[in-house]
Amino acid sequence: MKTFIGATAAATALLAGAAYADGPSITGNVALTSDYAFRGISQTDGDPALQGGFDYTNETSGIPIYAGVWGSSIDFAAQSAELELDVYAGLKPRLNDQVGFDLGVIGYLYPSASDDGAELDYIEAYAKVGIDVTPQFAVGGAIYLSPEFTGETGNGLYAEASAGYKFNDAFAASGAFGMQQADDADFDVGAGIDDNYNTWNAGVTWSPQGDVLAGFSFDARYMSTDIDNVDAADDRAVFTIKRAM
């Protein structure tokens, strides 16, 4: 379940003045993370995950558009699911150099799941805003809506607020606070939870400059939820190495 603002994704990525290639562009990324946690909940039973994807962008129309695919190893033992595949598309209009938006749709697919009755696949529509308060400090917000959340648990809503500070071209700090709701309880992490919970994360990202490690980023992040007595939702420190291409 890919996140665009939350865990392991620095909020500084929301900077409204971010540059785009004028014409079509295809980029890729690969990452190794110590624990794939989505909205504060481990998708790998606390184990490492290998991740990667490709993105297409184009700004020839004046408004940047994008589409992409992203995958990660997971460990949903009850459904024998070992792969998550996300497909998404959207556009990123800008109000000005300080304020930008991201409007799109994402589908979360689990092609390796053997238990069709679990109905893990679902889609979300999202709207995000990023504001450059200063050249170094950015804040953002996002809302994700699903007509049928994972596990057929009814309407789903996730709302998140984030902030990031860029110390220089190499170092940044960021954090986010989010709230997940669904019509039915027992979604995603099993029995014994309410139909909504809060999650938060904070961390630092190092993006080395220079030829040797160009394109790499190293993220260290602490995250938690207010869910009790569920191991997958416990406090955790997550370390991620990513290579953009």
Distant-in-sequence, close-in-space partners of 5: CB < 8 Å, separation ≥ 6 = 11, 13, 14, 128, 140, 142, 160, 162, 176
Question: Worst-scoring range by mean pLDDT, 14-18, 27-31, 114-118, 155-159?
Answer: 14-18
**Looking at residues 68-76, what average pLDDT do you find?**
96
Does residue 19 sit in helix, strand or coil? coil
DSSP class per residue in 84-148 = EEEEEEEE--BSSSSEEEEEEEEEEE-TT-S-GGG---EEEEEEEEEEESSSSEEEEEEEEEESS
Q: How does residue 10 score in pLDDT terms, banded at 50, 70 and 90?
A: very low
pLDDT of residue 12: 42
Q: How many domains does the chain have?
A: 1
**Looking at residues 151-172, what average pLDDT do you find?**
95
Q: Would 112 be classed as within a structural domain?
A: yes
pLDDT of residue 190: 52
The whole-chain average pLDDT of the chain stands at 88
Q: What is the CATH number of the domain that holds 217?
A: 2.40.160.40
pLDDT reading at 4 higher than 70: no
Domain extent, residue 196, equals 11-244
Residue 203: both structure tokens together? 């961390």
Q: Would 146 be classed as within a structural domain?
A: yes
Write out pLDDT tens, residues 168-192: 999 999 999 999 999 875 555 554 4
pLDDT of residue 80: 76
Q: Would 165 be classed as within a structural domain?
A: yes
pTM of the entire structure?
0.90
What is the distance between the alpha carbons of residues 87 and 75, in angstroms, rounded to a whole number? 20
**Looking at residues 12-29, what average pLDDT do you find?**
68
pLDDT of residue 21: 60
pLDDT reading at 93 higher than 80: yes
Q: Would 238 be classed as within a structural domain?
A: yes
pLDDT of residue 28: 98
Q: Would 201 be classed as within a structural domain?
A: yes
Q: Would 159 be classed as within a structural domain?
A: yes
Q: Would 16 be classed as within a structural domain?
A: yes
Q: Would 4 be classed as within a structural domain?
A: no
